[in-house]
Amino acid sequence: MDLHDSKAYTRRDFIGAGLTLASAAVTVPMFLQRSAYGLPMPELGASSMPGVPEDHILVVVQLAGGNDGLNTVIPFQDDTYHKARPGIGIGDANVLKLGREPVALHPAMEGIKDLYDNGLATVVQGVGYPNPNRSHFTSMDIWHTGDTSAVGNGWLGRYFDNACCGTDPKGQKVPNPMAGIAIGREAPLAMQGRLTKPIGFENTDLFRWTGEDVHSALEDPYHNITRAGEVDEVDPGSTAAFLMRTALDAQVSSDKIRKAVAQQPLVQYPRNALGQQLAMVAAMIRAKLPTRVYYVSLGGFDTHAGQGGVNGQHANLLRTFGSCVKAFQDELKAQQDHERVLTMSFSEFGRRVYQNASGGTDHGAAAPMFLFGPMVDAGVLGRHPSLKDLDSGDLKYNIDFRSVYSAVLQQWLGADPKAILKGSYRPAKVLA
């Protein structure tokens, strides 16, 4: 059988079939089988807990730099807050109140307030971990690995390795090449697994198949693999076979993603980088890519000077965050994907209670997290940390961030959080 001439196995049909390749064991070379078996097909071992749909998606929004949680979720009724921040505090008349809650949102967060009022947002107060580290790099590694020692693979990477791999005919795990997609300059540690490496790109103009730039044999890897029904001088267990398999995964992923992102959004997004990132994520979700986790980020939260209060640097960041997340949720609803997409945001730490001499805030500890979507247990979770009982000038955490991860893993993604987080953490009540 000439696979190159066979309609069942052309590259176009391979891509059009939604990244699946079935009944290939007899005719397709072993290393190509291994690539196909690594794709997310339930019958090939993409494990999930009973009762949890396979199409659930998590979108992570990282607020990089250490978001000032006290000016995000504001304890406006506490006099200590106003005394500690005479230049940057938000007055009672300006805050966005959350019903009868003793906390409120920054006035720039109209988008988040709208989601909250419609039962689509959960505010998790005082999230952190024991013995907080105030280094951007170390604290971010702690959040990314889910380990206070800040070592090892990413918590989402371990999820991919545990729950998103297929198996080849020999029973060996083969990673899903599209399990995780990150939009940014580099893929985050959180998504790096032992077996699984996420796709990462800044924009689709930079994300294209460029195998021909490496070697002419990789210009069309599928053609080279299947010509005349065999692999020309390629040992299935060789490095060349591995490169061909990787090339095929890369080309298929590139084609699918670029085609998905070419769709026009169904809503108007703010004209900024985060809006562009979330618009691309919505397009890939709309195209039904076999991706379980998407990751985007918004930087600039290291506000040591000139932070501002009602207006200024921090207000602009929070406005960007709120307006973009609101547009994203609106698009998910418009494309009828809102019930299968959970969005979660975090920052590596909060800021000090007292403003500094430069009109800003220095590195702190506990801070809020947010979760969005119709599946969340809407409202405010937990009590706000005391502004008087401090840990070296910082807020003490009330909720371990791994409890939030545990809930997302177990109740939304259908994975065993104990195996992934390397410990037992009672799931926080963030999902309905």
H helix intervals, 17-124 = 30-37, 79-84, 110-117
> Mean pLDDT over all residues of the chain?
83
Interval 212-255: pLDDT, tens: 444 444 444 444 444 434 444 555 555 555 555 555 555 566 78
Residue with the larger pLDDT of the pair 210 and 378: 378
Interval 35-59: pLDDT, tens: 333 333 333 333 455 556 779 999 9
Q: What does the pLDDT read at residue 403?
A: 98
Residues 248 and 119 in one domain: no
Interval 304-316: pLDDT, tens: 999 999 999 999 9
Mean pLDDT of 404-420: 96
Percent of the chain predicted with pLDDT > 70 = 76
Residue 312 belongs to some domain of the structure:
yes
Question: Which range among 185-189, 270-274, 398-402 shows the weakest confidence by mean pLDDT?
Answer: 185-189
Mean pLDDT of 186-190: 92
Strands 399-400 and 166-167: unpaired
User: What CA–CA distance (Å, rounded) separates 100 from 76?
Assistant: 12
User: What CA–CA distance (Å, rounded) separates 7 from 4?
Assistant: 8
Interval 257-313: pLDDT, tens: 888 989 999 999 999 999 999 999 999 999 999 999 999 999 999 999 999 999 999
Residues 282 and 251 in one domain: no
Whether 83 shows a pLDDT value over 70: the answer reads yes
Helix or strand (DSSP H, E) at 57: strand 57-63
Residues 313 and 218 in one domain: no
Greatest Cα pair distance, the chain, in angstroms, is 80
Interval 112-128: pLDDT, tens: 999 999 999 999 999 99
Q: What does the pLDDT read at residue 16?
A: 30
Q: Is 166 helix (H, G, I), strand (E, B) or coil?
A: strand
Q: What does the pLDDT read at residue 226?
A: 45
Mean pLDDT of 14-28: 29
Residue 428 belongs to some domain of the structure:
no
Percent of the chain predicted with pLDDT > 90 = 67
Residue 173 belongs to some domain of the structure:
no
- 114 CB-near residues (< 8 Å, 6+ apart): 326
Token representation of residue 18: 């939604």
pTM for the full predicted model: 0.82
Token representation of residue 263: 């769709």
Q: Residue 235: give the domain boundaries.
A: 1-37+207-261
Amino acid at 217: A
Look at residues 261, 283, 306 and tell me which one is the last residue of a structural domain.
261
**Residues 197, 213 contacting (CB under 8 angstroms):** no
Residues 273 and 292 in one domain: yes
Q: What does the pLDDT read at residue 256?
A: 83
Mean pLDDT of 185-205: 87
Residue 339 belongs to some domain of the structure:
yes
- Tally of domains in the chain: 2
Residues 281 and 372 in one domain: yes
Residue with the larger pLDDT of the pair 102 and 256: 102
Residues 3 and 75 in one domain: no
Mean pLDDT of 161-188: 86
Residue 201 belongs to some domain of the structure:
no
